[in-house]
């Protein structure tokens, strides 16, 4: 089920709000069980078979977490942690990577019989990383093990962030699972955040995605300007698509009393590639930093070992996004960029200026072209066209067509990917009452427009559903 679908907006969400905030059953236990039930229903709507995979994984990790908490000896605790990690990684390998591995072996050995086709459960990377977060936090004693398996299940399966994040750390919401308080202020702010995310998805991400899809379909038959326009459109699409889902997830979580951490911080305003990854998909980059990179030694080891750790980190980051050589190449691309910044000290500039932002955005857009391409061959052709290699010249009618028809939406996307709105608010200096009135009117208009688009639109899944 998609947040931006008619079924969710007109049926699922209203019924959930009525059931959760009913005046009869107000106990925390009822609210938790009700949320768990509707969350499992939410996942079952799209994955009626694979919900069992998620439930078994929750049960296995809950039992291992209880065992880890019971032992004091480091050896036994570490052994159980290894078992949990092996189980969770094996789950990802089977469902997400085994088809890719078998397909690659089939190509190498020229034997099609080796190729397997295993369906990918929606959101498996997200809920698996959350399950691992629970076990890690119990192991490192950052949080106590949950004695009630259903509370762990609620943490993993909570429908706002189940499918496409953000990846919520267990320690972040451990106390709120049983001790949260829902307030009218949280409800209002949560609903406002949800509406803003809905608008970003339906009005900006979907149109930018339409332009990107049309231009990437013409790989090998593009001018340089058209290739750059397609890559820029995809950069806007993936940002507004994913940040919209994060906005909607954070907003929905807040409605029910959960306070998830931010997942984006104007990444296209970054002044280095390192800075970009401090701002983009913060929950994933911090997860890899805390649970993979730092335990391997991080940058506190020898220079050669630190670069090896960085290589492993970015290989895993690329693989996390998908089982395709393009994602592996995309991860290696960022490894080279960040390694270059460490050697040259670019990311440590005290006074970054326009050049730093242009340099960062230049390579980020090239990276998105690689990320979006379906194969390495097509990626090379597309990126080559961006620099005039194999292109249809500098500029063509295709560029002018899409630019003329979408320039205002693309301009709005560019402005909204910067702190333009907060800057205007600060400069205008409106009073709280005036600002609240303007915001209320704007949100109402945005919601109505989004509903109109939603009713007319066809199925429009979020990009990160695939991961």
pLDDT value at position 228? 95
Tell me: do 173 and 115 sit in the same domain.
yes
Distances (CA, A) of 244 to 103, 203, 294, 345, 410: 34, 11, 30, 33, 16
**Residue 192 confidence (pLDDT):** 92
Taken as a whole, the chain contains a residue count of: 467
For residue 435, give both structure tokens: 């600002």
The answer to whether residue 259 is catalytic is: no
Residues 415 and 435 in one domain: yes
Band of pLDDT at residue 466, cut at 50, 70 and 90: low
Hey, which of 69-73, 255-259, 322-326 has the most confident mean pLDDT?
Answer: 255-259
Residues 208 and 89 in one domain: no
Average pLDDT, the chain: 88
- pLDDT of residue 188 exceeding 60: yes
For residues 35 and 187, what is the distance between their CA atoms, to the nearest angstrom? 16
Query: Would you say 245 and 197 are in contact if contact means Cβ atoms under 8 Å apart?
Result: yes
Same domain, 133 and 74: yes
| Higher local confidence (pLDDT), 6 or 253 | 253
Residue bearing the bigger pLDDT, 464 or 188: 188
Q: Could you please report the per-residue DSSP string of 220-260?
A: TS--HHHHHHHHHHHHHHHHHHHHHHHHHHHHHHHHTT--P
pLDDT band (50, 70, 90) for residue 459:
low
Instruction: Note whether residue 3 is domain-resident.
Output: no
- Asked whether the predicted pLDDT for residue 247 surpasses 60, the reply is yes
Both 244 and 326 in one domain: the answer is yes
Q: State how many domains the chain has.
A: 2
15 CB neighbour count, 10 Å cutoff:
11
**Residue 193 within a domain:** yes
Last residue of a domain, one of 135, 154, 181: 181
259, 321: one domain: yes
Would you state the pLDDT for residue 1?
72
Of 161, 181, 201, the residue that ends a domain is 181
Q: Are 84 and 211 found together in one domain?
A: no
The answer to whether residue 16 sits within a structural domain is: no
* Pair 174, 425: CB distance under 8 Å: no
Closest CA to 145 of 62, 73, 81, 82: 62
In a domain, 217, yes or no: yes
For 36-95, the pLDDT digits (tens) are 999 999 988 877 888 899 999 999 999 999 999 888 777 788 899 999 999 999 999 988
**274 touches 341 (CB < 8 A):** yes
Asked whether residue 353 is domain-assigned, the answer is yes
Percent of the chain with pLDDT over 90: 50
Instruction: Please give the pLDDT value at position 350.
Output: 63
Q: Is the pLDDT of residue 465 over 60?
A: no
pLDDT at position 349: 63
Question: 216 with 281, same domain?
Answer: yes
- Reported confidence tier of residue 123, pLDDT bands at 50, 70, 90: confident
Give residue 426's pLDDT band: very low, low, confident or very high (50, 70, 90): confident
**402: part of which helix (H) or strand (E)?**
helix 397-416
Distance of CA 212 to the CA centre of its chain: 19
pLDDT in tens, 278-296: 999 999 999 999 999 998 9
Same domain? For 279 and 420 the reply is yes
What are the φ and ψ backbone dihedral angles of 230, each rounded to 5 degrees?
A: -65, -45
pLDDT of 250 strictly over 90: yes
> For 348-374, what is the mean pLDDT?
87
Give every CB contact of residue 47 below 8 A, 6+ residues apart in sequence. 121, 122
383 has a pLDDT exceeding 90:
yes
Cα R_g (the chain), whole angstroms: 23
- 160, 181, 202 - which closes a domain: 181
Q: Are residues 207 and 101 in the same domain?
A: no
pLDDT in the model for residue 26: 84
Is 59 among the domain residues? yes
Q: Helices 124-139 and 74-92: crossing angle, nearest 10°?
A: 180
**Cβ contacts of 442-448, under 8 Å, gap ≥ 24:** 443/192, 443/195, 443/196, 446/195, 446/196, 446/198, 446/199, 446/203, 447/195, 447/198, 447/199
- Position 463 scores a pLDDT of 64
* pLDDT, tens digit, 9 for 90 and up, residues 149-165: 999 999 999 999 888 77
Give the per-residue SS3 of 143-186.
CCCCCCHHHHHHHHHCHHHHCCCCCCCHHHHCCHHHHCCCCHHH
Structural domain boundaries, residue 147: 22-181
pLDDT at 265: 93
pLDDT band at 239 (very low <50, low <70, confident <90, very high): very high
pLDDT of residue 336: 95
The predicted model gives 390-405 an average pLDDT of 87
Please report the pLDDT score of residue 107 as a whole number. 77
Which pTM was predicted?
A: 0.90
Decide if 4 is inside a domain. Answer: no
- Crossing angle of helices 51-70 and 149-157, in 10° steps, is 130
What is the distance between the alpha carbons of residues 115 and 181, in angstroms, rounded to a whole number?
51
Token duo for residue 437: 């009135």
**Secondary structure of 266-324 in HEC code, one letter for each residue:** CHHHCCCHHHHHHHCCHHHHHHHHHHHHCCCCCCCCCHHHHHHHHHHHHHHHHHHHCCC
In a domain, 68, yes or no: yes
In this structure, the answer to whether residues 128 and 243 fall within a common structural domain is no
Q: Does residue 298 share a domain with residue 155? A: no
């Amino acid at each position: 089920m998609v947040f931006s679908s008619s079924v969710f907006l007109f049926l699922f969400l209203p019924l959930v709000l009525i059931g959760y905030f009913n005046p009869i059953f107000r106990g925390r236990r009822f609210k938790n069980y009700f949320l768990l039930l509707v969350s499992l229903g939410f996942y079952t709507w799209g994955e009626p078979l694979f919900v069992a995979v998620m439930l078994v994984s929750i049960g296995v990790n809950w039992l291992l977490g209880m065992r880890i908490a019971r032992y004091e000896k480091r050896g036994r605790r570490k052994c159980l942690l290894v078992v949990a990690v092996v189980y969770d990684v094996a789950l990802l390998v089977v469902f997400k990577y085994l088809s890719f591995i078998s397909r690659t072996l089939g190509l190498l050995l020229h034997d099609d019989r080796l190729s397997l086709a295993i369906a990918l459960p929606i959101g498996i990377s997200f809920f698996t990383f959350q399950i691992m977060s629970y076990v890690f936090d119990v192991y490192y004693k950052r949080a106590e093990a949950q004695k009630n398996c259903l509370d762990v299940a609620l943490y993993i399966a909570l429908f706002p962030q189940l499918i496409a994040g953000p990846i919520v750390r267990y320690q972040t919401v451990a106390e709120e699972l049983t001790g949260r308080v829902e307030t009218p202020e949280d409800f209002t702010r949560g609903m406002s955040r949800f509406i803003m995310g809905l608008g970003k998805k339906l009005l900006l991400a979907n149109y930018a995605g339409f332009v990107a899809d049309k231009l990437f379909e013409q790989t090998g038959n593009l001018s340089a300007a058209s290739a750059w326009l397609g890559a820029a459109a995809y950069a806007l699409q993936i940002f507004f698509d994913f940040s919209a889902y994060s906005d909607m997830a954070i907003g929905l979580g807040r409605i029910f009393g959960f306070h998830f951490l931010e997942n984006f911080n104007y990444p296209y305003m970054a002044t280095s590639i390192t800075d970009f990854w401090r701002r983009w998909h913060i929950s994933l980059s911090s997860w890899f930093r805390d649970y993979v990179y730092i335990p391997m030694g991080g940058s506190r080891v020898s220079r050669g070992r630190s670069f090896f750790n960085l290589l492993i980190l970015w290989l895993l980051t690329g693989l996390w996004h998908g089982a395709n050589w393009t994602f592996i190449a995309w991860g290696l691309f960022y490894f080279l960029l960040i390694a270059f910044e460490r050697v040259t000290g670019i990311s440590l500039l005290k006074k970054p200026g326009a050049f730093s932002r242009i340099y960062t955005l230049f390579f980020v857009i090239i990276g998105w072209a690689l990320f979006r391409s379906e194969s390495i061959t097509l990626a090379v052709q597309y990126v080559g066209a961006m620099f005039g290699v194999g292109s249809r010249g500098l500029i063509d009618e295709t560029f002018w067509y899409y630019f003329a028809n979408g320039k205002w939406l693309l301009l709005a996307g560019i402005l909204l990917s910067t702190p333009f709105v907060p800057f205007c608010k600060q400069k205008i200096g409106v009073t709280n009452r005036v600002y609240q009135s303007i915001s209320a009117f704007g949100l109402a208009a945005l919601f109505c427009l989004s509903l109109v688009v939603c009713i007319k639109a066809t199925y429009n899944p979020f990009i990160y559903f695939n991961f």
